[in-house]
Structure 1
């Protein structure tokens, strides 16, 4: 009789304790996770047994919901981690591509005077009749072919061996180019070539950046060889007036600087009124002038910003670290919930048996 009364009072005490408590949340840290690790495991198991014995189904449902929610969060963080890794790879690839492929930056520098360019004429059998400076596009009447008046041009004659052929000797007549671009200074050259047997007759010429470089050079032949290797050749034909307008382009990048000429040319037919016997002496006319007072400067600009790339990579690695830490804590929490669930099931089976 005493034994029966003691069991009944114990069962009544369990139900009365359960009615006054709130529903325990197995996934929160207040009831389970904030236990001091130094406390005995018996106290923890008694609390857990009490919660499971009172409300086993509700606690299990909440644990399942929390488990599913944690799995979804881990999947989302896995996708974000994949995106972060792809962003880091793309950032590094773009940086290397921009570093290897600089962008060309073009600026224009306005000047009043150009350094006189060198105009190298390869006359062959032709003869220079006149060379004069004019201003404002005003050209005086032509000289008769039988008269020769060199005029006010500064010239240099250089004989050298062609750089691409050791057996060809070139003779160049180098003329100092115009300088005053504001007053439209130009140089007008008149040449003649007598009794040519060629089907097409033309005179070649070459432009280089500074006439003073030739004057100050100790080895003028070597200087002209280098110019021929680095500059382009052009031609003007007989029986026409060829108007050449020059522009200067300076290119710099990777420690190398180069200068080149760009030109616009127009051709006007010469109305030859000489008698037929005199037309065997073919005439050439060419005008050299600066196109505009602007020097085009081209620079290589590297658009890759290392600091910006480093900042992006730091943000990406910080996100990866946070995602890894979250995944680690989530896995630990899921393992803990799984162990608790297995312990509850073992106790339930023990009580039933």
Structure 2
């Protein structure tokens, strides 16, 4: 009886052990089947994520836990790098937009500044013959002894200096009131100046002053643009008053030969009028008086010649070109619109990617729950 009871207990224990082994193997098989199903489902989700990312140019950076990976540390994939690069591009375009706005402001400011401050332009016109200028002398007590035209800078030696000689120049004498005081009468001797600049024509004049009560002796003169205008003017006195008011006067001293080289400058004003001005280069040479007897009188020698065959024209020009400004502004505004469009699309795309990610996360949480 004792052996039978012992054998019954051993058989019961064996049956119980077999049942435990069977339940263990069943549980292991169930767990293994779940792992296989999870492994088979994950590649499909990853492929879907890659396809969604490829449709868009970039995406936000997500932790590995949200992407379904088991590693706790963050990992940057190609998609994440594309996302970062897209954000950087967005900021670059915003910076370019700011630069474009600054360029628009600077362009408009420069255009207005150029309109207010025109640039002086100088042009030169070559001529072979000038319009003969008028030379107005104010000799006072001095007397004109000789006046001749010479060519090629050659002046022959003086014959009987201090004595009256040939006057081969066209001259006119005129009296008029001083334009500044309107009381003093002035006497002027107007002489026709040289014309032929190619042949280097010059006018040589000699004056004589017998006596003077001044410490220094000099003769005043002024230049005006056209001797022919003076001759044809019906009111010569008024013409000379206007010339004296408009032009500067110079002097040449006694006991010297003064050589004056003239150049003509024309200035165009904003209202379209044109003014004429003479520039001069003067050289002075001492006269050696070789007369036998000592003299108390003074001799004056002066030469007038054109410096070069170029008439200088000065005018103010506006360098601001409205067409260039319009073209530049069009290009800047086009860049602004393109940058704004790109920024808008980038923001929309980032919002769309974020929504997809949130939707995918909610689906995973719902599935696990």
Q: TM range, normalised to the smaller chain?
A: 0.7 to 0.9
| CA distance 1:275–1:308, change in 2 (3 Å) | same
Contact 1:128 1:150 in 2 (8 A): no
Q: Is the 8 A contact 1:25 1:31 kept in 2?
A: no
Equivalent position SS for 2:124: strand
Give 1:235 deviation, angstroms. Answer: 0.8
Q: Which residue of 2 aligns with 1:25?
A: 50
Could you tell me which runs of 5 or more consecutive residues in structure 2 were left unpaired when the two chains were aligned: 1-31, 58-65
Match of 1:126? 142
Conserved 8 A contact 1:118-1:211: yes
Structural mapping, 1:316-331, within 5 Å: 316-331=332-347
- Paired with 2:70 and 2:182, the residues of 1 have a C-alpha distance of 103
* Equivalent in the alignment of 2:274: 257
| Count of residues in correspondence between the two structures | 330
Per-residue CA deviations over 1:267-305 (Å, capped at 9, x if unaligned) read 11111234666x222111111112223323334444333
Q: CA deviation at 1:246?
A: 1.4
1:270 maps onto 2:295 in alignment: no
1:336 corresponds to: 352
Choose the corresponding residue for 1:205, options 221, 225, 230: 221
Report SS of the residue matched to 1:171: strand
Pairwise CA RMSD: 3.6
Deviation at 1:202, TM superposition (A): 0.9
Q: 1:20 Cα shift?
A: 4.7
Post-superposition shift, 1:53? 8.7
* Mean CA deviation greater in 284-293 or 81-90: 81-90
Tell me the residue number matched to 1:285.
Answer: 301
> Partner of 2:129: helix, strand, or coil?
coil
Provide Cα deviations, 1:152-176, integer angstroms capped at 9, x if missing partner. Answer: 2111222223333333332211101
Compared CA separation, residues 164 and 18, structure 1 to 2 (3 A) = same
**Alpha-carbon distance in 2 for matches of 1:195, 1:10:** 138
Cα contact 1:108–1:297 (8 A) shared by 2: yes
Q: 1:189 aligns with which of 205, 211, 228?
A: 205
Q: In the aligned structure 1, how far is the partner of 2:67 from the partner of 2:247?
A: 97
State the Cα distance separating 1:66 from its structure 2 match: 4.8
TM-superposed deviation, 1:61: 6.6
Aligned residue for 1:310?
326
Which structure 1 residue ranges, 5 or more long, are not aligned?
Answer: 1-7, 33-51
Distance 2:353 2:76 in 1: 12
Q: In the TM superposition, what is the alpha-carbon distance from 1:309 to its structure 2 partner?
A: 2.2
- Structure with higher Rg: it is 2
Deviation string, structure 1 residues 65-105 (Cα, Å, up to 9, x no partner): 55433321111112212222233333333333444444444
